[in-house]
């Protein structure tokens, strides 16, 4: 008997296939989700554990280093002191004495302090907050630490956090020491410049004294407890501007003397008496003194010289004054001066003073920064001039210089004429003047003209010799002149003419020596001045003056000649 098998060749339908695939996707999605969720949770837990570990590492450092410290200081300034250790947060790393003790996971460390009373005693507690982060996971760790050896606010220097405020170690240094270091006082600035302070409107010298491991008794501190030494002028005025328990601001000034003088010392000292300090010893702050920078110089010396006679030579010394940017004189510059003549003039030479040359000049002029100008009478003619230049140099900095023109005048001849109807007019220059109005002066072809007239006040005009005139063996000075003023009769007594002499023509008329005075107008005449003995060397001047305060008593003078008559 044969059995017939019936085979069904019909497969899965499309609908069945889609259902099966959808179920498979759902199962796979749920599987992957469970896997990644579990993995992410593991990573999060790992990152948080690492962040906690880094924060607790900082906590352990604080406990081991700070628990028994005897003094702590919180400051924004870095200080170099071998007796201190310090913590600082930089680039997410906690540094101890500049060396990292953690990796870059510490975002912030904030510190402060609080107090509590227990058994009748005040206990000081360090409060801190540590923030660490890893893979964008952040962990904050708060803790407190009893400071076993801190018994006073004085030992928590510059904390100022008793109100619960915390300060970040990204902005501050936390200094600590196992033993209280020796008290120290410093000055800021620690380098000052020589000079006048508080004089002629200038600012006083401001110095802040800072204490470390010590305190001021602010209620008692006054000027009597502060002593100036070294380069400080001890009689300088001391003004206390501001006092804190660990700092005091001072202002030093003097109306006449230099507050800081390098001639006394190259450094300065300020000492505060132990009477106003919490300890039993006085403290001194040392300050380095520097010379002021030279900003400008000025040549000192005659700008007009007589040419010496044949076979003779004239030696003239020129000096320099030095000024800072405030135009205050500097007495001890650091640099050197080199001298030169800018235009070549035969018979004129210059060099710096040297002891080896054996110059016969006064001792107070013997400075290697001074110039020695030599004029050879055989090779120089009157009427020429030379430009004398002084160049100041200091350690390769920009050159500072000054230049003056020196006029070389022909000597007074045997005939004695200082002026003769236009001749030798180069010997005369304009001198002191006062008042405005109609006043004027000028050199005409055959006379020197001076007019002093001012309706609203006094007026004066002067012609004076450029150089001092040697009156040795001179018995008489003859001046031919006239005063052509037309002032009214009632004003004539205020219309004055003078022949004068003085040792320094740049001074005002109060330094005149009146050789001859004439009131009122007068026609052309010769006035003589006689000497019974040699008067020495003087500048000779002719003066026109309106001496009336509220009226115009004009003085108009024409000077035709000035002559020296020598003893035969």
> What structural domains and CATH numbers belong to the chain?
58-177 (no CATH), 184-290 (2.60.40.10), 296-409 (2.60.40.10), 417-566 (2.60.120.260)
pLDDT at 383: 77
CA distances from 203 to 191, 206, 228, 241, 257 (A): 17, 9, 19, 14, 14
Rounded distance, CA 9 to CA 208, Å? 106
The owner of tokens 């135009």 is 327
Are the C-beta atoms of residues 321 and 298 closer than 8 Å to each other? Answer: yes
pLDDT at 87: 92
CA distances from 37 to 51, 81, 133, 141, 338 (A): 21, 54, 22, 27, 86
Please measure the distance between the N-terminal and C-terminal CA atoms of the chain and give it in whole angstroms. 190
pLDDT at 6: 45
Rounded distance, CA 538 to CA 502, Å? 6
- Phi and psi, residue 511, nearest 5°: -95, 10
What are the b/e assignments for 83-93, b being 16+ CB within 10 Å?
A: ebbbbbbeebe
Rounded distance, CA 566 to CA 416, Å? 8
pLDDT at 88: 93
* pLDDT tens over the chain, length 568 residues: 444 444 455 556 787 777 878 788 888 777 666 655 544 444 555 656 777 888 888 899 899 889 988 888 888 888 776 778 899 999 999 999 989 988 888 999 999 999 898 888 889 999 999 998 877 778 898 999 999 888 777 778 778 777 678 999 999 999 988 776 678 899 999 999 888 899 877 899 999 999 877 888 767 889 999 999 999 999 999 999 888 878 899 999 998 888 998 888 889 999 999 999 888 899 999 999 988 888 899 999 988 888 888 888 889 999 999 998 878 788 778 789 999 999 988 999 999 998 887 788 888 888 899 999 999 988 887 778 899 999 998 766 678 999 999 988 877 777 889 999 999 898 899 988 888 888 899 999 999 999 988 888 888 899 998 888 888 888 889 999 998 886 544 444 456 778 878 777 766 556 677 788 877 788 999 999 888 777 778 889 898 888 777 666 788 999 999 999 987 6
Note the pTM of the prediction, 2 decimals.
0.48
Q: Work out the burial of residue 286: count CB atoms within 10 Å of its CB; fewer than 13 is exposed, 13-18 middle, 19 or more buried.
A: middle
């Amino acid at each position: 008997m044969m059995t017939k098998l019936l085979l069904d060749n019909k497969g899965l339908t499309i609908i069945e296939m889609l259902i099966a695939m959808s179920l498979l996707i759902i199962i796979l999605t749920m599987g992957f989700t469970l896997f990644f969720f579990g993995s992410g949770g593991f990573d999060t837990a790992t990152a948080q554990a690492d962040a906690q570990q880094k924060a607790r590492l900082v906590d352990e450092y604080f406990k081991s280093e700070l628990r028994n410290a005897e003094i702590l200081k919180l400051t924004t300034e870095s200080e170099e002191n071998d007796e201190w250790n310090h913590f600082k947060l930089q680039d997410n790393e906690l540094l101890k004495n500049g060396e990292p003790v953690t990796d870059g996971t510490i975002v912030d460390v904030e510190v402060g302090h609080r107090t509590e009373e227990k058994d009748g005693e005040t206990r000081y507690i360090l409060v801190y907050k540590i923030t660490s982060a890893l893979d964008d996971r952040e962990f904050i760790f708060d803790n407190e630490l009893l400071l076993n050896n801190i018994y006073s606010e004085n030992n928590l220097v510059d904390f100022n956090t008793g109100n619960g405020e915390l300060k970040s170690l990204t902005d501050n240094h936390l200094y600590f020491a196992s033993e209280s270091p020796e008290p120290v006082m410093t000055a800021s600035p620690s380098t000052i410049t020589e000079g006048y302070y508080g004089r002629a409107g200038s600012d006083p010298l401001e110095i802040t004294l800072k204490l470390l491991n010590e305190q001021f008794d602010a209620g008692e501190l006054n000027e009597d407890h502060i002593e100036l030494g070294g380069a400080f002028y001890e009689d300088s005025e001391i003004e206390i501007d501001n006092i804190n328990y660990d700092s005091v601001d001072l202002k030093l000034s003097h109306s006449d003397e230099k507050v800081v003088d390098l001639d006394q010392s190259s450094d300065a000292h300020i000492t505060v008496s132990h009477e106003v300090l919490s300890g039993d010893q006085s403290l001194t702050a040392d300050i380095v003194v520097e010379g002021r920078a030279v900003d400008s110089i000025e040549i000192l010396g005659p700008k007009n010289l007589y040419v010496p006679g044949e076979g003779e030579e004239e030696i003239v010394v020129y000096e320099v004054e030095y000024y800072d940017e405030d135009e205050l004189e500097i007495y001890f510059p650091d640099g050197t001066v080199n001298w030169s003549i800018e235009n070549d003039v035969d018979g004129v030479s210059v060099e710096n003073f040297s002891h080896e040359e054996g110059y016969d000049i006064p001792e107070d002029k013997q400075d290697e920064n001074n110039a020695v100008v030599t004029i050879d009478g055989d090779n120089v003619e009157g009427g020429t001039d030379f430009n004398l230049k002084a160049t100041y140099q200091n350690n390769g900095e920009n050159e500072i210089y000054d230049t003056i023109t020196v006029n070389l005048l022909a000597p007074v001849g045997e005939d004695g004429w200082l002026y003769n109807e236009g001749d030798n007019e180069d010997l005369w220059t304009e001198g002191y003047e006062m008042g405005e109005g109609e006043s004027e002066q000028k050199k005409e072809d055959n006379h020197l003209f001076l007019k002093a007239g001012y309706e609203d006040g006094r007026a004066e005009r002067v012609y004076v010799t450029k150089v001092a005139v040697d009156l040795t063996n001179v018995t008489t000075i003859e001046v031919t002149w006239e005063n052509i003023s037309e002032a009214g009769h009632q004003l004539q007594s205020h219309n004055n003419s003078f022949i004068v002499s003085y040792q320094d023509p740049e001074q005002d008329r109060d330094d005149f020596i009146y050789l001859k005075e004439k009131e009122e107008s007068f026609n052309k005449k010769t006035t003589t001045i006689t000497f019974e003995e040699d008067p020495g060397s003087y500048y000779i001047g002719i003066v026109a003056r309106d001496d009336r305060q509220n009226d115009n008593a004009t003085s108009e003078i024409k000077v035709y000649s000035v002559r020296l008559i020598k003893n035969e």
